[in-house]
Amino acid sequence: MNARRYRRFARPPSVSVASRPSLWTDDDHLLLVDFNGMTESYRRVYWRDVQALVWYETPIRLILSILILLFVAGFSGLAFLARSAPAGMWVLLGFAAFFGLLLLINLARGPTCACFVQTATAVHRLNAIGRVRQAHRIEALASERVSQQQSGDVPPAPLPPPAMPPPPQADTPSASSGVPPPLPASIPAEAHAVRPPPLALDGSYLRLHVVAFATALASAVLDAVIAGGWNNLGLSVASMLAGSALMGLVIVGLVRARRLPDSTGLVRTYWFALVTVTAFWVVGYAHMMVLMITSPTHPLGGSEVDYLRAVSRLHGGNSTYMLVNATVSAIAEGWIGLMGLLQLQRMLARWRLLSTPPEAGTP
């Protein structure tokens, strides 16, 4: 039954959460496999049907590098603070070295990308292709296989212009001969920009984005109040809850915003929010760890509840750390909220403009 022997082309990428996609090749087709831990689903793309491979760079490498760098810095800082206890220091340095190695590997693997294969009926994303280097490899393989499977068709390069030639002009010599003139190689992109179809707001999750950025603004106000010196337990808890809600909304909003057209600015704001909020969490966690390590009361010396209460008081009280944290958080979240709402407003204005039918007489 399993007569075919597939050759693995790409392993699951390093960032794959819900499923583990992989890519396998056979003589006449590509096999796209998604494994969710229990079942495998298959999609086949035959070389003879492949019309185009398209890929573009994504910022995943940069974001991963920043996140890993935060861990390296966090563990290095903790190791420095724990230098009085050599065993703990070396363990923490080991963690820092591990994350440093991950960082080097991430940088060495090259830029990340999203790669797609287009056929006459569908565009499939090759989830297993996560790096530009892999995209170039699949391109080389596709060129070889396609030349065998699509032989008899016109060669792939140089490419002739397909249908829709430019309108013949009376002063061009080709108009008289009946042959459409070839397209010049350097046509400005704007000249071929297609007017996008009118977009409905249904499915844009506009309210979700508004709520996300409003939450960022609310969180900024809370942090500003805390930074102003009016810190108490209620405000701290409210700020923490707002931060958690913001994290959740940012993740969902980012997923939704990526599916929207014309949303590059919005997506960038979301990415900034994700990295910033994550960084605040990591810093807060590291601060707690530092307090626990440097606290004069050993956790095993007395009641653990009392000890944790004392550490929490140190962590959340009117300390310099809290002042700096609250100030920076207020600025960052305020910026996120304002920029997000501004991006939304710009996007809506553009959509309205595109949805308005052009007046008679305008080109």
Which residues are near other proteins by CB under 8 A?
A: 1-4, 6, 8, 22, 24, 31, 33, 35, 37-44, 48-57, 114, 116, 118-120, 123, 125, 135, 139, 142-143, 146, 150, 153-156, 159-162, 164, 183-187, 189-194, 196, 261-264
Q: In this complex, which beta carbon is closest to other proteins, that of residue 126 or of residue 212?
A: 126
**346: closest CA among 259, 249, 272, 262?**
262
User: CB 114 → other proteins: shortest distance, Å?
Assistant: 7
Cβ 43 vs Cβ 56: under 8 Å: no
User: CB 139 → other proteins: shortest distance, Å?
Assistant: 5
User: CB 255 → other proteins: shortest distance, Å?
Assistant: 15
Cβ 91 vs Cβ 110: under 8 Å: no
Cβ neighbours, 10 Å, residue 301: 9
Q: In this complex, which beta carbon is closest to other proteins, that of residue 60 or of residue 330?
A: 60
What is the distance between the terminal CA atoms of the chain, rounded to a whole angstrom?
Answer: 61
User: CB 287 → other proteins: shortest distance, Å?
Assistant: 30
Q: In this complex, which beta carbon is closest to other proteins, that of residue 106 or of residue 263?
A: 263
The CA distance from 143 to 130, in Å, is: 19
Going by the DSSP 8-state scheme, the letter that residue 259 receives in this structure is: T
Sequence-separated contacts (24+) of 102-111 with Cβ below 8 Å: 102/68, 103/65, 103/68, 103/69, 103/72, 106/14, 106/61, 106/64, 106/65, 106/68, 107/61, 107/65, 109/61, 109/133, 110/61, 111/57, 111/61
Q: In this complex, which beta carbon is closest to other proteins, that of residue 26 or of residue 331?
A: 26
**65: closest CA among 12, 111, 106?**
106
Q: In this complex, which beta carbon is closest to other proteins, that of residue 32 or of residue 222?
A: 32
Q: In this complex, which beta carbon is closest to other proteins, that of residue 155 or of residue 228?
A: 155
Going by the DSSP 8-state scheme, the letter that residue 188 receives in this structure is: -
Q: In this complex, which beta carbon is closest to other proteins, that of residue 134 or of residue 276?
A: 134
User: CB 355 → other proteins: shortest distance, Å?
Assistant: 15
Cβ 340 vs Cβ 273: under 8 Å: yes
- 125: helix, strand or coil: strand
User: CB 8 → other proteins: shortest distance, Å?
Assistant: 7
User: CB 357 → other proteins: shortest distance, Å?
Assistant: 19
